[in-house]
Amino acid sequence: MNVAFKKETFRDDYSYENSPEAIKRFPFPFPEDTYMYSVNIEPHTKGPKGSTIEFAFDIDEHYVAECEDKAKTLALDSSRYQALPHMMDAQWDFLELTMDSLSADYPKLFTLTKDGKNWTWENKPLGIKTSFVFGDKTTLAMEPFEYMSRQVQGDFVLLDQRNGTLYADAGFVTSQADWSLAFDAGMAWHEWHGPVPQVTKLGVMDRALKYLMNIQLGSPVRRLNWTMTINPRLDTSPENYPLWGGDRNKVTPDNVGDLVHLRVELQSLFRLPRSNGLFFSIRCYLISMDELSTYPRWVKRFHRVLKSLHSDLVEYKGLTKFRDMTVQWLSRFDDGKPMDIGTHPE
Amino acid sequence: MSIINVTVANVEQVTPLVKHFTLVKEDGSLFPAFSGGSHIVVAMNINGRVHRNPYSLMGSPEETGAYHISVRKQEKSRGGSVFMHEQIKVGSKLQITYPVNLFALEKRARKNLLIAGGIGITPFMSQIEDLNRTGAAYEMHYAYRSPEHGAFSDELSAKCGDKFKCYVESDGDTLDFKALLSKQPLGTHVYVCGPHPMVVALIETARELGWPENNIHSEQFSAPPSGDAFKLKLSKSNLEIVVPSEMSMLEAIEAAGVDAPYLCRGGACGRCELEVLCTDGPLIHNDHYLTDAEKAAGKKIMPCVSRAKCDLLELNI
C-alpha cells in the first residue's frame, strides 16, 4: 500500500477533505432507508482489499494529520488520557496488539523487531524509532497505552471485566462525538450508556453487554455507529463545546454541502490476552455532503434516513438545528424510486 | 469459533489419577499469552464422535511456547478423561480453542485468598504466576485426600513460599473455612475451585460472614450427566433428533449438523443458552449460570450440561 499522507487540519481553517479514493472507500452505514439502533455486531475479520476493514486497524491518507491533531488536543487538555493503575497489563496488551497488527499489515510504514522482551518499533510516517523492554514501563517515555494511542487513528478505551459487567478504566479520547472520558472513566456499562434514548426498552444494552463479555481472544468484532458534525472536526468534546457548538447555527441552505458532515465510527472490540480486558476502538470517518453527493445511491439513501429519523435520535445526536435544512438540501438528489438493500456506493 | 491445532509434546503421570500434558502448536509458532485462571476446550475424536472438555491452563501466561493442562481420570468418565489418559501419547494431535477466562483475578483486590480442593488446583497454577509477577498480596490454600494426591504441592511451595499452606486429609488436616475467612482484611477476594460440596460450603460460609457477592469467585465445570433419552425439536432448523442417554443436548445438536454456540461446555459461561419453546416434561438444569428464578421459569436452558425428563422438548435454534 502506498499512501500519500495529506497535510490538512481538523480545526481553525478546516482544510480536511477526502480524495476520490477515500470517498469511494468511506464506510457508509445505511443498508436501508430507515435507521434504528440494533445490536449490529459482526466478526472483525479481514474485509475486501482496499476497504476500511481490510485490516484490524485502518491507516489512511489522513493518518499523519490525525495524529498531529490528537497531540494538539492532548497538549491542551491532559484529561483526554486516563488510565487507572490496575490497567497496566491491558496497556501492554494494547501496545502488543497495535504494534503486531500495524507491522504485519503495513510493513512499508511500520516495523517491529523482537529479541525476547527487547523490542524495537519504527514508525516511518511519524519518524519514530524506539527500543524498549516489553513489560517494563520505565523503558518508554510515557505509559505504553498513551505511546501507541498517539500513533494509531481513532479513540481507544480499555475495559476491565468484573462484577458481571465492564468498566471503562482507561482511555485515550481526542476525537469523540460529544462524550467525555473525564466523566465516564471508571463507570460501568449501564452507567455510561444511561443517556442513550430508546435502547432500554429495546433491551439492547443488556443483550449487547452479554455478547461483549463473551468476546473471545482471537475473535474480535465490529459495528458501525454514526452522527453528524459541522465542519470536519475530530474533537467535538463536551469540554470544548464553546469551540464547536455554535457552528450548528452557521448552517445555511447555501453552505450545507460544505459544512455538514456525516460522521461514521468504525467501532471494534478485541479481547486482550494477559489482562482479560476488552479493548474498544472507535475510529472516526468524516465526509461532507458535497463529497457524499458524488455517489447517487448514498446521497439518496442518506436523504431518506435523515428524513425518517426518530425525533429522540435527532435530539440525542444533536442534529436538531440543521436537520431540516440538510434534508431539504439532500432532497434534490432523491428521485423517490425504490433502492435495493446494501451500502455499496454505485 | 477459532481453533488451534496442537501436538502433544510431553505426557507426565503426576499422581495415580492425574496426567499432565504439554501442548505445542502444530505449526511451531507461539500461542497467545493468556490471563491466570483461563481454560481451553480440548476436542477429541472418540470413535467418530467429537468430545469437547474444558481444562484450565496451568503454566505461566508469559511462556507461550507451550500450553499445559492436567487431566484427572474420572471414575464416571463419559469417555473424555479416559481417552486423554489411555489414548493420548507424545505426538498425538488435538484441537483446542483459544483461552477463555471465567475465573479471573480481581486486579483491584487488596488481598487474594485462593482455595483449592484436589484437581481444583489447576486454575490457580497460572493465577499464581500473575500474582507473583504483579506483586499482589495472596494466600494459597490447597486441600487434598492423601500425600500421593498432592500433585503440585512441591511446585507451589517453591513458587509461593510462606504464602502456601496445604491440608492433607489423611493426616487429619482440615481447612476451617469459617476461621480462615473471619480473619481476612476488608477488600479481600476469595477464589475457590474443587469438588462441588467444597465450593458450596465455601460460598455459604462467605455469605454468612457478610462477604460481598462480588468478592466471592468460584469455578466449577460440570461434566454433562447422563439420563433418559428424549426427543428434541429444533424449530429454526426444522429438525427432530434424539438425545441419547450418554450424550448431552449440545453434542446431539452438533451431531445433527446444526451450528450451536458454546464456550465452556461446563455450564459456567452462559454462551450456549437456548430458548425453550415447549416441553411435555420437567427440565433438569445442571448449569451454574442461570439464576434459580430463571431455572424455575423454564424459558431458558443450557444444552451443554442440562437435560429434560420428557418425550419432546422444543428449542428455538
Chain B residues within 8 A of A274 when measuring between CB atoms? 33-35, 61
Whole-angstrom CA distances from A207 to A38, A165, A186, A189, A197 are 10, 12, 21, 12, 16
Asked whether A37 and A203 are in contact (CB, 8 A), the reply is: no
The number of beta carbons lying within 10 Å of the beta carbon of residue B112 is: 24
Interface predicted TM-score (ipTM): 0.86
CATH fold for domain B230-315: Ubiquitin-like (UB roll) (3.10.20)
- Choose the closest CB to A163 out of B1, B98, B214: B214
Average pLDDT, chain B: 92
The yes/no answer on whether domain B3-101 falls in CATH 3.40.50.970 is no
**pLDDT at position A202:** 58
* B271: chain A residues, CB-CB within 8 Å: 214
B34 touching A (Cβ < 8 Å): yes
Question: Nearest CA to CA, how far is B243 from chain A (Å)?
Answer: 27
Instruction: Spell out the domain ranges in chain A.
Output: 20-101+145-331
pLDDT, position A201? 61
Among the partner residues A210, A214, A217, nearest to B32 by beta-carbon distance: A217
Strand boundaries in A124-220, DSSP class E: 128-133, 155-162, 165-172
Res A70: pLDDT: 97
Q: Is A275 on the interface with B (CB under 8 A)?
A: yes
Q: Residue A113 carries which DSSP code? A: E
Render pLDDT for A192-226 as a digit per residue (tens, 0 to 9).
887 776 666 656 777 778 888 888 899 999 999 99
Q: How confident is the model at residue B223 (pLDDT cuts 50, 70, 90)?
A: confident
* From B33, B100, B106, residue closest to A216, measured CB to CB: B100
Write out chain A residues lying below 8 Å of B97, CB-based. Answer: 216
Chain B residues within 8 A of A217 when measuring between CB atoms: 32, 34, 98-100
Per-residue pLDDT of chain A (346 residues; tens, 9 = 90+): 557 899 999 999 999 999 999 999 999 999 999 998 766 778 899 999 999 999 999 999 999 999 999 999 999 999 999 999 999 999 999 999 999 999 999 999 999 999 999 999 999 999 999 999 999 999 999 999 999 999 999 999 999 999 989 999 999 999 988 888 888 888 888 888 877 766 666 567 777 788 888 888 999 999 999 999 999 999 999 888 899 989 999 999 999 999 999 999 999 999 999 999 999 999 999 999 999 999 999 999 999 999 999 998 999 899 999 999 999 999 999 999 999 999 988 8
CB contact under 8 A, A214 and B38: no
What residues of A are labeled active site? 223
The values of phi and psi at residue A242, to 5°, are: -60, -25
Can you give the pLDDT at residue A198? 67
Buried b (16+ CB within 10 A) or exposed e, A43-57: ebeeeeeeebbebbb
What is residue A2's predicted lDDT score, i.e. its pLDDT?
59
**Residues in contact with A60: Cβ distance below 8 Å, sequence separation at least 6, in sequence order:** A3, A22, A25, A52, A153
| Among candidates B1, B35, B270 on the partner chain, residue whose Cβ is nearest the Cβ of A275 | B35
pLDDT tops 70 at residue B282: yes
The verdict on a CB contact (< 8 Å) between A86 and B101 is no
The pLDDT assigned to B185 comes to 96
pLDDT digits (tens, 9 = 90+) for B37-78: 999 999 998 888 888 889 999 989 988 999 999 999 887 777
Minimum distance, in Å, between the CA of residue A85 and any CA atom of chain B: 9
Per residue in B109-134, pLDDT (tens digit) is 999 999 999 999 999 999 999 999 99
pLDDT tops 60 at residue B316: yes
Predicted confidence band of residue B222 (pLDDT cuts 50, 70, 90):
confident
Which CATH number does B111-219 carry?
A: 3.40.50.80
B53, amino acid identity: N
pTM: 0.89
Domain boundaries, chain B: 3-101, 111-219, 230-315
Q: What is the DSSP letter of A185?
A: T
Contact between residue B294 and residue B213 where contact means Cβ atoms under 8 Å apart: no
**Predicted pLDDT of residue B311:** 94
pLDDT in the model for residue A182:
80
Q: What is the pLDDT of residue A6?
A: 94
Q: What is the 3-state secondary structure (H, E, C) of chain B?
A: CCEEEEEEEEEEECCCCEEEEEEEECCCCCCCCCCCCEEEEEEEEECCEEEEEEEECCCCCCCCCCEEEEEECCCCCCCHHHHHHHCCCCCCEEEEECCEECCCCCCCCCEEEEEEEHHHHHHHHHHHHHHHHHCCCEEEEEEECCHHHCCCHHHHHHHHHHHEEEEEHHHCCCCCHHHHHHCCCCCEEEEEECCHHHHHHHHHHHHHCCCCHHHEEEECCCCCCCCCCEEEEECCCCEEEEECCCCCHHHHHHHCCCCCCCCCCCCCCCCCCEEEEEECCCEECCCCCCCHHHHHHCCEECCCCCEECCCEEEECC
Distance from CA of B130 to the nearest CA of A (A): 9
Question: Residue B310: what pLDDT?
Answer: 94
Contact: A274, B61; criterion CB under 8 Å? yes
Reference A159, options B104, B131, B123; nearest CA is B104
What pLDDT, on the 0 to 100 scale, is given for residue A263? Answer: 97
Q: Is A43 on the interface with B (CB under 8 A)?
A: no
Whether chain B has a CB inside 8 Å of the CB on A89: the answer is yes
Nearest residue in chain B measured CA to CA from A272: B34
Q: Please list every residue in chain A whose beta carbon sits closer than 8 Å to the beta carbon of residue B32.
A: 217-218, 273
Is the Cα dihedral A179, B106, B188, B108 positive or negative? negative
